Amino acid sequence: MFSMTNRLLGIVIALALTSGVVAHAASAAQRPLSPIALPAASSLPTAIQTAASRLSETATSAIDPAAAIRGAYQRDRVALAHLRQQASQLKGSAHPAFNQFISDQELGLTQTERAALATTRPDAQSAIAAMDKLVAATEAELNRELSQTGDANSKNSTQAGSAASKGQSGKPDASHGNGN
């Protein structure tokens, strides 16, 4: 059962890859396809899904650039919504500040999509790359904020733990007596 599924998946990916390359070559000979990095074997299912998505996006952008831009916009809006959910772990003023940052990134995403779609022949690849860059910057900022929060929490717990151990070891233990 699984070998048939894997073979079918391989055939579908091969057909999609071939179709995408042919469509791209036919419509944009001056812009070669960007290379795709091969993933580690441990993340293969996710990597196959991502590669298939990128391939489909490339093929769609060759045939219908506006549809590819709209699809990438929707994908990136969902990614920003997930980042907003992950940001709920931030404490204090960092959480509302990051929500404002995401709102600003959403505005930039919308402006990029509208500007790309306003042209008669949109350049889907550069518009999609610009929108993906906004999401990547937002994710990097969230990771930085979360690591700072994590560092502060670990420093506070380390300081509290060392203070507690100093308090215990700094005094002689009265329960052992003085040897009498």
| Tokens read off for 34 | 């960007």
| Tokens read off for 38 | 């091969």
Q: What is the dihedral of CA 65, 67, 73, 74, to 10 degrees?
A: -160
Annotated domain spans of the chain: 49-149
pLDDT tens digit sequence for 5-58: 667 677 777 777 677 666 666 665 555 555 555 555 455 566 676 677 777 777
Look at the alpha carbons of 148, 149, 151, 156 in this order and tell me if their dihedral is positive or negative: positive
- 23: which residues sit within 8 A by CB, 6+ positions away? 59, 62, 63
pLDDT at 59: 76
Q: Decide if 51 contacts 36 (C-beta within 8 A).
A: yes
Strands, E assignment, the chain: none
Question: pTM (2 decimals)?
Answer: 0.57
Phi, psi of 30, rounded to the nearest 5 degrees:
-80, -15
pLDDT tens digit sequence for 62-107: 788 888 899 999 999 999 999 999 999 988 888 999 999 999 999 9
Secondary structure class of 171 (helix, strand, coil): coil
